[in-house]
A and B are shown apart, each in its own frame.
Chain A
Amino acid sequence: GAVVSQHPSRVICKSGTSVKIECRSLDFQATTMFWYRQFPKQSLMLMATSNEGSKATYEQGVEKDKFLINHASLTLSTLTVTSAHPEDSSFYICSASRGVSTEAFFGQGTRLTVV
């Protein structure tokens, strides 16, 4: 399968600071990328869908000003958690696909801890 790299794998930040998470498709062009949040022992909750060159589409209840998503190129999408608070601590995972309704490949995930 295709390779998606997510960085960093773990990050600890102070409350009030911002954190950027990168998601890269290493060997294919990803026209669509998805960002998920996963709580312990739960499923993946879709936060937003981004298509290259256009604004991300956020799911209901996800604050777009807090979770900034940029899909600047066909191989890179970033998620920035702004003014992080302890309740933002979670496992964030990105996935990338060549197009809608095609195979989606996942990064390794980022464990964010806000202290």
Chain B
Amino acid sequence: GQQLNQSPQSMFIQEGEDVSMNCTSSSIFNTWLWYKQDPGEGPVLLIALYKAGELTSNGRLTAQFGITRKDSFLNISASIPSDVGIYFCAGYYGSSNTGKLIFGQGTTLQVKP
């Protein structure tokens, strides 16, 4: 089936540093979504991207939908301790009636105060 390859798997950074993570696939996706998940809870939507080349920001977060529609990245600027968590990319593929939403493997972010 379709796969999303997310990297890096984990990051341990100092507070105030910028963070970048990305997802790639061999298939074309219609929509890219970025989520953050805290332990024992459901993912929370951070950013949604709908058009190839689209660059969208949400506070300190910025994400882009790759031109080829096969990749996306998420940047977090000036990280703070509450940024700790697992970040997932997710993508829709398929037809308008049977689209599926699949997830990357996740990036675990740890921030050292």
- Is the CB of B40 closer than 8 A to any CB of chain A? yes
Asked whether, in the complex, the Cβ of B103 is within 8 Å of the Cβ of A43, the reply is yes
Among B11-19, B60-68, B75-83, B91-99, the stretch in contact with A: B91-99
Smallest beta-carbon distance B14→chain A, Å:
24
- Is the CB of B8 closer than 8 A to any CB of chain A? no
Asked whether, in the complex, the Cβ of B42 is within 8 Å of the Cβ of A59, the reply is no
Per DSSP, chain B at the interface is loop
- Is the CB of A51 closer than 8 A to any CB of chain B? yes
Smallest beta-carbon distance A19→chain B, Å:
18
Asked whether, in the complex, the Cβ of B41 is within 8 Å of the Cβ of A109, the reply is yes
Asked whether, in the complex, the Cβ of B102 is within 8 Å of the Cβ of A6, the reply is no
Name A60's contact: one of B1, B94, B98, B103 (CB within 8 Å). B1
Asked whether, in the complex, the Cβ of A104 is within 8 Å of the Cβ of B101, the reply is yes
Report how far A111 CA is from B31 CA in the complex, Å.
29
User: Interface residue count for B (Cβ, 8 Å)?
Assistant: 29
Interface string of B94-113 (1 = CB under 8 A from A): 11111111111110000000
In the bound complex, residues from chain A placing their C-beta under 8 Å from that of B44 are: 1, 106
- Is the CB of B48 closer than 8 A to any CB of chain A? yes
Name B105's contact: one of A43, A49, A109, A111 (CB within 8 Å). A43
Report how far A59 CA is from B98 CA in the complex, Å.
12
Asked whether, in the complex, the Cβ of A51 is within 8 Å of the Cβ of B1, the reply is no
